């Protein structure tokens, strides 16, 4: 499924999500089951199927990682946890140091360090997301240039997972 086509928006990493959300609302209203009460069973099934597609497309485009995956797929570049190149040693070393610091903060129940780590990694995630957006702008429809930015998606995954882990530790500490 091409989520951009389903929503009737141009395929782009940089989207005005509020405008897309309004488009989703319009589509959802048009496909609402109440509008198809007097329609035949097959027409109701088609409308329901389209409504499900709209919801799935919205779920994809509002998530930066899934939106990037969809754009890579449209460009003919296979991505996914097992298809992406391994990150470079410098990046892995950086992540390893951050994870050690996170483990120490967790075992010491150090909320200040957790907050600092979350802030630092959030900035890294934003920077990585900006780099990915620039890469998509530069690549246009050039699949070889598009393939060159796949490692940036892998970095986004690492940062997102790290932040999820920080959040889980914070939740654990407050309970």
Q: How far apart are CA 7 and CA 53, in angstroms?
A: 9
Percent of the chain with pLDDT over 70: 95
For the beta carbon of residue 105, count every other beta carbon within 10 angstroms: 20
Instruction: Write down the pLDDT at residue 34.
Output: 67
Band of residue 174 on the pLDDT scale cut at 50, 70, 90: confident
Q: Please give the radius of gyration of the chain, using alpha carbons only, rounded to the nearest integer.
A: 20
From the list 145, 127, 125, the residue with the least C-alpha distance to 136 is 145
The CATH code belonging to domain 3-62 is 1.10.287.110
pTM: 0.86
* Average pLDDT, integer, range 28-34: 78
pLDDT tens per residue, range 17-26: 999 999 999 9
* Average pLDDT, integer, range 30-44: 73
pLDDT tens per residue, range 86-141: 888 999 999 999 999 999 999 999 999 999 999 999 999 999 999 999 999 999 76
Q: How far apart are CA 165 and CA 42, in angstroms?
A: 45
Between residues 43 and 75, the one the model is more confident about: 75
Domain 89-174 has CATH 1.20.1280: yes
Domain boundaries, the chain: 3-62, 89-174
Instruction: Write down the pLDDT at residue 143.
Output: 75
The answer to whether the Cα torsion of 82, 125, 97, 115 is positive or negative is negative
């Amino acid at each position: 499924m091409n989520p951009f086509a389903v929503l009737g928006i141009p395929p782009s990493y940089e989207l005005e999500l509020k405008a897309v959300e309004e488009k989703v609302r319009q589509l959802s209203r048009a496909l609402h089951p109440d509008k198809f009460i007097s329609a035949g069973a097959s027409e109701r099934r088609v409308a329901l199927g389209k409504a499900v597609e709209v919801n799935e497309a919205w779920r994809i485009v509002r998530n930066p990682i899934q939106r990037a995956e969809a754009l890579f797929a449209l460009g003919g570049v296979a991505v996914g946890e097992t298809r992406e190149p391994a990150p470079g040693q410098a990046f892995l070393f950086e992540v390893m140091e951050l994870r050690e610091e996170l483990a120490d903060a967790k075992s010491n129940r150090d909320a200040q360090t957790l907050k600092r780590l979350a802030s630092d990694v959030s900035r890294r995630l934003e920077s990585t997301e900006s780099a990915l957006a620039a890469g998509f702008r530069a690549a246009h429809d050039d699949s070889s240039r598009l393939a060159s930015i796949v490692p940036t998606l892998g970095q986004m995954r690492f940062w997102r997972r790290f932040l999820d882990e920080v959040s889980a530790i914070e939740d654990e500490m407050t309970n």
